[in-house]
Structure 1
Amino acid sequence: MPVIRAQQRDKVSSYQSLRSIYEQNITVNSIAETMDTCHLKDDAYVIKEMMLNKDYDVLGVEDSGVVIGYVVRDELKEGTCQDYYRSFSPTELVSESTPLLQTLFIFKEIDRIFILEGNRITKVVTLADLQKPPIRMLLFGLISILEMHLYRIINDYFPEETWKKHLNPKRIQFAEDLYSLRKAKNEAIQLSDCLQICDKRDIVLHEEPLRDLLGIDTKTKGKQFFKKLEELRNNLAHSQNINTEDSWNELFSLIEQTEQLLEQCEKIK
C-alpha cells in the first residue's frame, strides 16, 4: 500500500471523526431557553404586556400543572389565554439530545421548536436563538473541515505545486508572501498551506475531473456556492449576524450543500 494513500485515508478518517464531534455532540439543548408559562384562565392582554416587557415571542400554557400548549404574543387580544393557546404539534417537539445540525434543518419548515426533557416540555428555541455561539461554532467548524478536505485533495491531486496553473499571479504572490512570513517564524509548512478559501475554490472549479468528483455541476454554480460560503465564514469570524429572518432558508440550503460537498470529499481518498 503506498504510504501517501495510507496517509490520505488516515486524514479522511480523522476529519470524519472531527466532523462527528460537531454534528453529533453539540445538541439543541445548547441554544434552548427555559420556557416560562401562564395559565389557561389568565387575562390575554395582561399576558401580552408581560411578554412584551420580557421580549417573549411565545409562552407555555399550563393546565393543572401540565404544560399543554403555548400562546404567540402577536395573537393575543381580549379574553383569556384559553381563547388563543395552540396545542403542540408533533413536528414542533424534539428531544433535548437532538443534534444541533439536525435542528437547523427542522427550522426549514417551522419558526419554533419545543424541547422534551423526559415527558415534559420545558424549553423553546426560536429563529433568534440561531445567532447564538454554539450555532456559530458548529458552522465555522463545518466550513473549516471542508477547507481541510480541499487542502488535502489539492495536495494529492496537484503534485509539485502544479495547482499554480489555476491561479492568477497576484494570488500566487499573496500565498508566497504569506509563506515567507510564516517560514520566518519557523513554522513547518508548505506553500499550499497559505492558500485561502478563494484560491482553493478556483483550483477545484477549474479542474473538471475534480468538479465531477465533488458533484459540482458547473463552474457558475460552484462559484455561487463558495461565494456564499465565504460570506458566511466572514460573518462568523467577525461576529456579524449570521442571517436575517427573511433569508434563513438560504442559510439552511447553504448548510445542506456544504454537508453534501463534505460527503463527496470523504469519498476521495
Structure 2
Amino acid sequence: MAANWARPAFAGVDDIFKTLHYGLTVKLVSTPRHELKTCKWSELASDVLDSNPDDFDFIPVLNDADDEPRLVGLFHAADIRKRGIADGPVSSFYVPLTEEYLIGADASILDFVVQADSRPCRLVVSGDQIVGLVTLSDLQRLPVRVALFALITGFEMIMTDLIRTTLPHEPAWMAMLKPTRLTKIQQEILIAREKDAYVDALLFTQFSDKAEIMKRLKPLAVNGPALARNLRHFESLRNKVAHANEYASSPDQAKHVCKVVRELLSMRCEIRERLNET
C-alpha cells in the first residue's frame, strides 16, 4: 500500500500556489472604511495629532464637503510627529491620493507584503469605492501568518523536488547531511519500514536538512554566504510563523519580513526554472 504514496505530488504545483494565494486577499487583513479614524483637511495638524491617542501612523484625509466627504489623501501622522512640525492645516501636510497608495481588495496578501516596506500604507479599493486601509502593521494578522506559512511550506516542497531531481539516489544527498541528523533520519526510516509506512527518505528530512543539502549542492545563482543567509532567514521566519511566535511586532521586523518574502519568491522562481529545464 505504501507504494501508492510514493509518487511526488508536485504536478500543477504552480497553479495550486496561485489559486491558494489569490484566495488570501488584502481585504482579509484591511481595516474596513467605517472603522477608520479620519480627519478633515481643514483641521489643524496639531489638533489631529493630539486627538490620535492610538498613535496611528497614517490617517485618511477627507475633504470638507458637507453632503458626502471624499477621501482625498493620507496624513502621515508618525512622520509629522517625528519632525515636530505641525503648524497649519492638514491640507499643508497630507499626501494626495495616487496609484501607489491604492491596492485592490482582491489583490493577494503577498502582493501587499512584497511592497509593504516601501509602501507601508495602502487604501483598499473595490470597484470605484475605497473600502478600507491596510498598513505594514497588518502583517501581524492571522491571514498573513497563513499566507506566509503556505509560502514557506510550498518552498520546502519545491526544495524537495529539486533535491530529488538533482540527486535521485538517496546516498548522494544523505552524504551531505550533518552526522547527527543523518543518524536520526536513518532511525526514523527504520521505524517506518518496520511499520510498513516507509514512502520516501526525503520525507523524513526537516527544513534545516534540505537547507544543508542546498548549500552543499549549490544549484542556484545565489550561492555561498548569501544562499546560507537567505535559507537561515527562511527557516527563522518559518519557525516563528509555525509556532505562533511574533515575527512582525515592530516596523523593523515587519520590513525584514517583506525582504525575506521577496528573497524567497525570487529563489522559488529560480528553482522552478531549473526544474523546468530538466
Instruction: Please state which band the TM-score falls in when normalised by the shorter chain.
Output: 0.7 to 0.9
Cα distance in 1, alignment partners of residues 100 and 109 from structure 2: 16
Identity of aligned residues (%): 19
Structure 1 residue aligned with 2:212: 202
* Contact persistence 2:139–2:254 (CA under 8 A): no
1:72 to 73, 76, 79: 76
1:229 pairs with 2:234: yes
Cα distance in 2, alignment partners of residues 181 and 17 from structure 1: 35
Cα distance in 2, alignment partners of residues 258 and 41 from structure 1: 45
Q: For structure 2, list consecutive stretches of 5 or more residues without a partner in the other structure.
A: 1-6
1:262 pairs with 2:268: yes
How high is the TM-score relative to the length of structure 2?
A: 0.79
3-state SS, counterpart of residue 175 of structure 2: helix
* Contact persistence 2:177–2:212 (CA under 8 A): yes
1:100 pairs with 2:109: yes
Cα distance change, pair 70–205 in 1 and its aligned pair in 2 (3 A): closer
2:244 to 239, 246, 264: 239
* Contact persistence 2:185–2:204 (CA under 8 A): yes
Q: Report the Cα offset of residue 259 of structure 1.
A: 1.4
Q: For structure 1, list consecutive stretches of 5 or more residues without a partner in the other structure.
A: 1-6
> What does 1:1-269 align with in structure 2 at a 5 Å threshold?
11-34=9-32, 35-52=36-53, 54-63=54-63, 64=65, 65-74=69-78, 75=80, 77-162=86-171, 163-180=173-190, 187-208=197-218, 211=219, 215-243=220-248, 244-246=250-252, 248-267=254-273, 268=275
Q: Deviations over 1:64-107 (max 9, x none)?
A: 12111232334374554334333123211122122221212222
Q: How well do the aligned residues superpose, as a CA RMSD in angstroms?
A: 2.6
| Count, aligned residues | 255
* Contact persistence 1:93–1:114 (CA under 8 A): yes
Q: Report the Cα offset of residue 239 of structure 1.
A: 2.2
Cα distance change, pair 142–159 in 1 and its aligned pair in 2 (3 A): same
Q: Report the Cα offset of residue 218 of structure 1.
A: 2.4
Q: Deviations over 1:154-175 (max 9, x none)?
A: 2343344222111232111121
Q: Deviations over 1:204-247 (max 9, x none)?
A: 32235xx1xxx243232221111111111111112223244235
